[in-house]
Amino acid sequence: MSQDNIDSEQLSHAASDAGEHVNYAYLRGCKKLTSYDWLKDISEIAEYRHLVEVQFKNTRKAYFQNSNELRLNKGDVVAVEASPGHDIGRVSLTGQIVLTKILSEGINPKEQEFKKVYRKAKPADVEKWEQAMALEDETMLKSRKIAEDLKLDMKIGDVEYQGDKTKAIFYYIADDRVDFRELIKILADEFKVRIEMRQIGARQEAGRIGGIGSCGRQLCCASWITNFVSVTTNAARYQEVSLNPQKLAGQCSKLKCCLNYELDVYLDAQEDFPDTSIPIQTKQGKATHMKTDVFKRLMWYSVPTDRAPVITCLSVDQVNELLEQNKKGVVPEKLLGIEESSIASVIEYQNSAGLESLTRFEDKPKDGGSVKKRGNRKKKRYRPKSNNSQE
């Protein structure tokens, strides 16, 4: 991504503190994992006011202690403590919101020991950081070739160098357990750095690579999701979504994370819905459930007959009443569903602009004039002049 996607405030801080040759490769993405400080106007707790959140490449973030009391703002490039050496990152949050995020993640700030922020990045730090980032793509391609030669069933998806070029993190995907001890030795001899292998899943890989989803927006895992929640097919069933794997799967080949977004709303709406596995007993036969419109509170039941099955639309209250009658031994003659006119009143849609009319441009104007139609005009036929015509 270009530098246009970075806030002007972040650019000004980074440029003034780290020089004009800042490489923003670690900030790529459309506002990738941008955090909004909605507690910036609230007074801080003095005990934890020195905690800051620092973002590194892609989705990696960590919390650090500003023990030197530096004046840090969002977007500043800083040198932080690492093991070993130091790393370079960008400040993504400061102030009270950092403590709120730490507590939401179940971390006790009194028991947790945070690493330190050394200083704002100097031009020499940034220059070495840029050199390290320039090696990442080449290192990834070479490491893939080495893993292929060793016949390891794994895929190295990304490489991240530490800011001081003393350590490299290799992110890989594997279905089974991989013995990469020999691989680490070869990589250490080849690249002369400390090697760390970190296994990630398909969702994390999609978040690191990025992309555009079927909704036309940037992938949620690449823009704001940091903690992944498991998604099951029950989420699609509760929302009456067709269980089509091609439509339910995202670019990571897993179920889309957005299936969980409206799940709670559907569960709340279905609290008084009857069990769809229980048929309704009628004298015509058993009426089995076909489909449900959750928010309109309508349910369709089908009764098999000698010819075509009879499909009846019932409200949720009607279904609950019929099931209660069945429990008492009362069997109705047939299902009396909602009439078409009643359904239309429930599904009524008003288009004030009148855009649903196909003949809206052919209506007569209010002043009584007529609308000219192109199709009514007679075309003049071309007739060749006869020889007897007079000049």
Residue 375 lies in a domain: no
* Position 359 in a domain: no
Q: Are strands 51-55 and 61-65 parallel, antiparallel or unpaired?
A: antiparallel
User: Is residue 180 located within the same domain as residue 89?
Assistant: no
Residue 381 lies in a domain: no
pLDDT score, position 17? 45
- Closest-CA residue to 203 (of 243, 236, 245, 249): 249
Q: Is there a contact between 219 and 250 (Cβ–Cβ < 8 Å)? A: yes
Q: Quick one: pLDDT at residue 365?
A: 57
Residue 223: inside a domain, yes or no? no
Q: Do residues 98 and 7 share a domain?
A: yes
Burial of 51 (0-12, 13-18, 19+ CB in 10 A): buried
Q: Is 386 inside a domain boundary?
A: no
Last residue of a domain, one of 186, 203, 220: 203
Last-in-domain residue among 243, 271, 299:
271
The closest of 162, 192, 13, 20 to 79, measured between CA atoms, is 162
Q: d(Cα 33, Cα 377) in Å, to the nearest integer?
A: 61
* Positions of the chain with pLDDT under 70: 1-35, 40-48, 339-391
12/93 same-domain check: yes
Residues 161 and 184 in one domain: yes
pLDDT at 67: 87
User: What's the CATH code of the domain at 161?
Assistant: 3.30.300.20
Q: What is the pLDDT of residue 224?
A: 82
Task: Report if residue 198 sits inside a domain.
Answer: yes
Q: Confirm whether 221 is domain-assigned.
A: no
197 plus 152 within the same structural domain: yes
Which pLDDT belongs to residue 112?
87
Same-domain status, 233 and 187: no
Overall domain count for the chain: 4
Residues 116 and 161 occupy one common structural domain: no
Q: Are residues 117 and 30 in the same domain?
A: yes
| Domain boundary residue, one of 121, 154, 170 | 121
Q: Residue 157: give the domain boundaries.
A: 135-203
Residue 111 maps to a domain = yes
Query: Residues 115, 94: one domain?
Result: yes
Q: Are residues 92 and 160 in the same domain?
A: no
Q: What is the pLDDT of residues 289-337, one digit of tens each?
A: 998 999 999 999 998 888 888 889 999 999 999 999 999 999 888 888 7
CA atoms within 13 A on the CB side of 374: 1
Which residues touch 332 (CB under 8 Å, ≥6 apart)?
A: 282, 283, 322, 325
Residues 94 and 9 in one domain: yes
- Same domain? For 11 and 112 the reply is yes
